[in-house]
Amino acid sequence: MEGNYYPLLKWILLAPLAGFAVNGLLGKKFLGEKAGGIVGALAIFVAFIFAALSFSDLLNLPVENRLLRDTLYSWISAGTFSVDAAFRFDPLSAVMALVVTGVSFLIHVYSIGYMHGDAGYNRYFAYLNLFVFFMLALVLADNPLVMFVGWEGVGLCSYLLIGFWYEDPEKAAAGKKAFITNRVGDAGFLLGLMLLSALLAFNGVFAMDFESLEKNAPLLTSITVLGVGAPTLICLLLFFGATGKSAQFPLYVWLPDAMAGPTPVSALIHAATMVTAGVYMLARLHFLYELAPKALEVVMLTGCFTAFFAAVIALLQKDIKKVLAYSTVSQLGYMFMAAGAGAFSASVFHLATHAFFKALLFLGAGSVIHGMSGEQDMFKMGGLKKEMPFTFLLIGAGWLAIAGVPGLSGFYSKDLILEKVFEHGGTFVWGAGVLTAAMTAFYTTRLFVLTFLREKRGHGHAHESPLTMTLPMAVLGVLALAGGFLLKDRLFVFLEPMAEHGAGHDPLAARLMLISVVAGLSGIAAAFLLTLPKTAAALKRAMPRIHDLVYHKFYVDEIYGFLIIKPLRLVSDKVLFQLVDAGLIDGVIVNGSANASYTAGKALAKVQNGRLDIYALIFAIGVALMLYWAI
């Protein structure tokens, strides 16, 4: 293990941290806009270079020993329990680190153009660098505790960046909502971690790094907690954390609101990287989940439901970013579906391709919004094909990739997931997945058609975005088109060198693939047909109830508001605030003690009336009493 010590690893993390420090401390005063943006992007580029170097060194290692480690210092040391601030670079974290730094770098470059002229320019890049630092800490962590630090850190940066324009109370509220919703999930994650370490310590295992966790996880199988097997309970708690961070039902509600942040942030944090942390966590702890088939089933069904549910909501959204937000929720559902079916590599594959095409779509949407001077309603766009030719082509690439057109990246990963789900989850889950694929094709086509094709509905002239924005998009476009094809076999050999690959495609798989392709294409066709104003209006008239329900996102926010937030507010206000805080703490403890000493002082002040003879009398009485008690 010592032989794998690799000091280069820390620089992957330190570069973005340095970028954060420089931009955060010196940015506004000394760097200004131009240098600040360059420093921000450069920091990520350095991280990317180091990640690529580590990656090539990793490839040079023998297949069965592909692991690089770097320990910074001993972080926690309490008796027999000790945790190091340690990082590891194995195939899984290598893929994640490359995706994170690569996509982040492109988005940083894009942001240089997008955020041009914003008052908080340097603050923006500082936050973005800090985010990348925490995200890398999350994916490179060698034990769940360091991972948790990254987990919380990306949540913090997400909050800071959603509420980046904090002068707008609505945006600040969106940031708060994301943070609080994530806290709910994080509580589950933390409980899972505590349970894991406590039960392992109970069995005499104090090491927390992933390697010894994997070795010792089977010890847990014989333990039951509250009538449930320990691995199942731990996995469910950790998965609850993942539903918060990765926006799965029931905690997905924050992600659509998170679109209040700047669009590159949506692309980076809320599409490509942070929201995939849950998927990564599952893949990282796959040995634990494999001990808990029940938990895996829950993961798969949750993912399936979320994918379907979010896709239905995305069908009727007006706001271009909201469509993409619900699409992200839905695609994340796919990843969890794959993880739940035990196909962790497939979920990581989809994670990577999704990072490419969804980041591309978000950046494209940002380019459109930028070009339309802040307009986000798709019904006020239309006909932008001529005015924004580059964006048109690039979003077109992203659209075809996500819709699952054969040969493009979305097709490979989605098809693989559906195949695995069919093997492990049965026809029902698979059917829901195929339906979701059709709907995905539908809403992305709808987005594309409403934005770029047909007649122009908006007023004012749109303009094409600058090169700093279109260039990163072009790179992502290439990745979205070709990434799936390039990665499809290599990634699996890299991630699971021991497993056998390319086992003969059975005819069933080919048939399944055909069905999902047909579903995707029919979704595209349906979207072209149904977005015609006449048919859309007819459909709306035919089913007003359903339209209303879907349009209002199934009233989930309202239901949560009524069932959870309102009672919580009531209890907080009446019991916690008025009774405990204002009544008990302020009233009795703070003001009460002050009042008591004030009253006592007032009574005692009467004694000190300034008359010498009275003083002498009291003194004499005191002496008499002392004599009386002494004798």
Partner 1 sequence: MSAYSLAAVSFVLFSLAAAGFLTCGSLVRMLMFLELMLNAANIALVALGPETVSQAYAVMLFAIAAAEAGIGLALIITLASAFRTLEAENIRELKG
Q: Judged by CB, which is closer to partner 1: 201, or 618?
A: 618
- Please report whether residue 609 would count as binding partner 1 according to CB under 8 A: yes
One residue of 76, 579, 616, 625 binding partner 1 per CB under 8 A: 616
Instruction: Tell me the residue type at 510.
Output: A
Compute the least distance from the CB of residue 631 to partner 1, in Å.
Answer: 14
One residue of 611, 628, 629, 631 binding partner 1 per CB under 8 A: 611
Residue 246: other Cβ atoms inside 10 A = 29
Q: Judged by CB, which is closer to partner 1: 56, or 608?
A: 608
Instruction: Tell me the residue type at 33.
Output: E
Q: Which residues of 111-133 are buried (b: 16+ CB within 10 A; e: fewer)?
A: bbbbbeeeebbbbbbbbbbbbbb
Q: Judged by CB, which is closer to partner 1: 570, or 620?
A: 620
Cα-trace Rg, the chain: 29
- Please report whether residue 204 would count as binding partner 1 according to CB under 8 A: no
Residue 31: other Cβ atoms inside 10 A = 19
Q: Judged by CB, which is closer to partner 1: 499, or 624?
A: 624
- Please report whether residue 600 would count as binding partner 1 according to CB under 8 A: no
- Please report whether residue 615 would count as binding partner 1 according to CB under 8 A: yes
Compute the least distance from the CB of residue 600 to partner 1, in Å.
Answer: 14
One residue of 585, 588, 620, 626 binding partner 1 per CB under 8 A: 620
228-229 and 224-225 beta bridge pairing:
antiparallel
228-229 and 68-78 beta bridge pairing:
unpaired
**Per-residue string for binding with partner 1, 556-595, x by CB under 8 A?**
----------------------------------------
CA geometry: angle 114, 42, 477, nearest 5 deg: 55
Q: Judged by CB, which is closer to partner 1: 559, or 616?
A: 616
Q: Judged by CB, which is closer to partner 1: 532, or 621?
A: 621
- The size of the chain, in residues, is 631
**Phi and psi (nearest 5°) for 68?**
-120, 140
Q: Judged by CB, which is closer to partner 1: 61, or 617?
A: 617
- Please report whether residue 605 would count as binding partner 1 according to CB under 8 A: yes
Compute the least distance from the CB of residue 605 to partner 1, in Å.
Answer: 5
Compute the least distance from the CB of residue 613 to partner 1, in Å.
Answer: 5
Compute the least distance from the CB of residue 591 to partner 1, in Å.
Answer: 25
Question: Rounded to an integer, what distance in angstroms lies between the CA atom of residue 409 and that of residue 448?
Answer: 18
Please give the distance of CA 68 from its chain centroid, rounded to a whole number.
26
- Please report whether residue 500 would count as binding partner 1 according to CB under 8 A: no
Longest Cα separation, the chain? 115
Question: Rounded to an integer, what distance in angstroms lies between the CA atom of residue 131 and that of residue 268?
Answer: 10
**Per-residue string for binding with partner 1, 10-39, x by CB under 8 A?**
------------------------------
Q: Judged by CB, which is closer to partner 1: 514, or 625?
A: 625
Number of residues that bind partner 1 (CB under 8 A): 11
Tokens 């002496």, residue? 623
Instruction: Choose the stretch contacting partner 1; rule: CB under 8 A; options: 186-194, 321-329, 503-511, 616-624.
Output: 616-624
Compute the least distance from the CB of residue 582 to partner 1, in Å.
Answer: 34
Instruction: Choose the stretch contacting partner 1; rule: CB under 8 A; options: 40-48, 317-325, 501-509, 614-622.
Output: 614-622
One residue of 3, 117, 227, 610 binding partner 1 per CB under 8 A: 610
Q: Judged by CB, which is closer to partner 1: 25, or 618?
A: 618
Instruction: Choose the stretch contacting partner 1; rule: CB under 8 A; options: 264-272, 529-537, 566-574, 615-623.
Output: 615-623
Question: Rounded to an integer, what distance in angstroms lies between the CA atom of residue 128 and that of residue 402?
Answer: 26
Under 8 Å between Cβ of 137 and 86: no
Question: Rounded to an integer, what distance in angstroms lies between the CA atom of residue 554 and that of residue 231?
Answer: 34
- 3-state helix/strand/coil string of 78-131: ECCEEEEEEEEECHHHHHHHHHHHHHHHHHHHHHHHHCCCCCCHHHHHHHHHHH
Half-sphere exposure of 573 (CA within 13 A, CB side): 6
- Please report whether residue 379 would count as binding partner 1 according to CB under 8 A: no
Question: Rounded to an integer, what distance in angstroms lies between the CA atom of residue 283 and that of residue 491?
Answer: 14
- Please report whether residue 608 would count as binding partner 1 according to CB under 8 A: yes
Question: Rounded to an integer, what distance in angstroms lies between the CA atom of residue 378 and that of residue 389?
Answer: 17
One residue of 78, 459, 613, 628 binding partner 1 per CB under 8 A: 613
One residue of 78, 498, 612, 631 binding partner 1 per CB under 8 A: 612
* Residues that bind partner 1 in the complex, under the rule CB under 8 A: 605, 608-613, 615-617, 620
